[in-house]
Amino acid sequence: MEIVNKPWGNFKQFSLNKKSTVKILEVNPNQILSLQKHKKRDEMWYFITDGYCRIGNEDKKVKEGGTVDIGKGVIHRLYAKDKRVLVLEVSFGNFDENDIIRIEDKYDRK
């Protein structure tokens, strides 16, 4: 993400002329996404609210406005504790929902 300052304030630029897919992820309180990785894409998460994630072997709390970069092959997950979490996800590369390699999943998905 790049912050571009203007006389009236600024804007946050997440992608410029790159092949990308953009989604907003909404995680309900006390819910968790699968522990996963991807072969074909990198991801960047921009936290709209405070939230929690695991990147590699590190769990961390990310404040509203924080970003996390996730490279191809890096294990990751997003989760919520007692409040809903909103994250803007920008996927770079060839996006395919079938590119999810799940290591662990609360909902028994493969």
Query: What whole-number distance in Å separates Cα of residue 43 and Cα of residue 99?
Result: 12
CA atoms within 13 A on the CB side of 106: 8
Please list, in sequence order, all residues whose beta carbon lies within 8 angstroms of the beta carbon of residue 2, skipping any fewer than 6 positions away.
12, 13, 16
Tell me which of 35 and 17 has the higher pLDDT. Answer: 35
What is the model's pLDDT at position 61?
Answer: 98
- Domains (range + CATH), the chain: 23-104 (2.60.120.10)
Question: Which tens digit of pLDDT belongs to each residue from 33-54?
Answer: 999 999 999 999 999 999 999 9
Confidence (pTM): 0.90
- Higher local confidence (pLDDT), 66 or 18: 66
Backbone angles phi, psi at 87, to 5 degrees: -135, 135
